[in-house]
Amino acid sequence: MRTRILLFSIFSLTIFSSQAQDKPNIVIVFMDNFGWGEPGFNGGGITRGAPTPRMDKLADEGMRLTNFNVEVQCTPSRSAIMTGRYAIRSGNGTVPLGEGVYGLVQWEVTMAEMLSNNGYATGMFGKWHLGRTKGRFPTDQGFDEWYGVPNSTDESTYSSLEGFSQSGVPETYVMSSVKGEEPKKVRPYTLDYRPLIDRDLTDKAKEFMTKSVEENKPFFLYLPYTATHFPTMPHPDFKDKSGHGAWADLLMQIDSYLGELQDKVDELGVTDKTLFIFTADNGPEAVGYNSTNLTVETSMQGSAGPWRGTLFTGFEGGLRVPFVMKWPGKIKAGYSSDEIVHVMDLFPTIGAITKSDIPQDRIIDGIDMSDFFLGKTDKSGRDGFIVYMGNDIFGVKWKNWKLHFEEQDAWNSIKNTYTMPRVYNLYDDPQERNNVLFPHTWVPKAALPQLEEHIISLKENPPIPTGQSDPYEPK
């Protein structure tokens, strides 16, 4: 009898181990305000002051998307990648400016919850920006562990600014937590730690991967770095290393850390079992054209490459970000595509690849692109999407065309609203400056049905109100 029990236990463990190994590890490196034109593989690198050999190597070994799109603000993009839904649906269409409740309600199912329910170890290290109150932290939303900041990196400047200490606004802290426990304040997020934090995030990410492999568990690593968000302050190891200023130093730092992560995956012997994604939340920070930048030490002029616009605009420069996906033996190496993909497509795609349960009781706006990523088709299946800036519909993207109902040139500029949509051909006019509504009045007829469907879906399934408290149940 004991022999039978022992054999059964060994057999069960073998099956469990085999099933765990069948599930690919998922790594998502999510940069902050990192423009399309920064990496060498998109024409940046040395033209930005520093080569990016590890980014370029990743692109050579994986699939590069030149038309990968996001929301144009931090919080909406993070909501979209986590839920597979337009951020407007979850009540996270805008970056929060006040101190009230915001973020994801418990009803939402995040990518971390989806993968955790499928036996994954889930770790997040970095910027959350989807809630900073009880029940809204990463470890309340499917992550086993988290180290990072709940909000944005500009808050690291607060304590050094005149008047802040008398404002009554609470100081921002770096936090740490594990699932089932209240997050702990580790240290104030101040300017002395701002250049150091991404080093710590990288180290903790490597430790998490090591621990997961040792425990024979597939892992989901979500690494939303604080770079390249204002203030631009590279780690001391990289300060003045490029010889071309702080931005180039920071580019070298990002490239080096990305290389460390790839090397750790190789060292752990799980390269062929790991789906590795490198991308960003929105386009770059930059002051508007003809503006004067009076900031010296923390100046930022990110690059969107050939595209017009920055974050907080509806132009391609705000929407398109770098994207590389690597999975040896599964994803064709050195392949590039200009097919339209949106960040919210990662949720159902990763769900399909990992054979995880995708929620069926709500609208998922993302499209399962597993066949496209795995080379079974050369079409993504997406012709376009609705362009939001905050809670406002700025336009519609359809194939190589853009319709703009509203425009603003930069994050701090005046918004223009048009009585007739402006129409741009992105192949002919990547800067979106030449309105060709006439003679191309056929374009709105082809592009607008998706907007009509979207508006109807919002009426039938009303968005979660911003600041909605828990518990929440859709009506």
454 flagged as catalytic: no
Q: Is the pLDDT of residue 249 over 50?
A: yes
* Stretch 240-253: mean pLDDT: 96
The pLDDT tens digits for 186-197 are: 999 999 999 999
pTM (2 d.p.): 0.94
pLDDT at position 14 is 41
> What is the percentage of the chain residues whose pLDDT exceeds 70?
93
Query: Rounded to an integer, what distance in angstroms lies between the CA atom of residue 147 and that of residue 205?
Result: 10
Check residue 295 and give its pLDDT.
Answer: 62
Separation CA 163–CA 158 (nearest Å): 9
Contact 87, 96 (CB under 8 A): no
Token pair belonging to 244: 């071309």
pLDDT tier for residue 294 given thresholds of 50, 70 and 90: low
* Model pLDDT, residue 200: 98
23-82 tens-digit pLDDT = 999 999 999 999 999 999 999 999 999 999 999 999 999 999 999 999 999 999 999 999
Using pLDDT thresholds of 50, 70 and 90, give the confidence band for residue 293.
low
Q: What is the pLDDT of residue 196?
A: 98
What is 44-97 written as a DSSP string? -GGGGTS--HHHHHHHHHSEEESSEE--SSHHHHHHHHHHSS-HHHHT-SS---
Per-residue pLDDT reduced to its tens digit, 385-424: 999 999 999 999 999 999 999 999 988 889 999 999 999 9
Is 129 tagged catalytic?
yes
Band of pLDDT at residue 289, cut at 50, 70 and 90: low
Residues forming beta bridges with residue 148, ordered by sequence position:
126, 175
Range of weakest confidence among 97-106, 147-156, 203-212, 281-290: 281-290
Task: Write down the catalytic residue from 74, 229, 235, 404.
Answer: 74
Give the CA distances from residue 48 to residues 51, 57, 300, in Å, rounded to whole numbers and listed in that order: 8, 18, 12
Active-site residue (options: 129, 229, 235, 404): 129
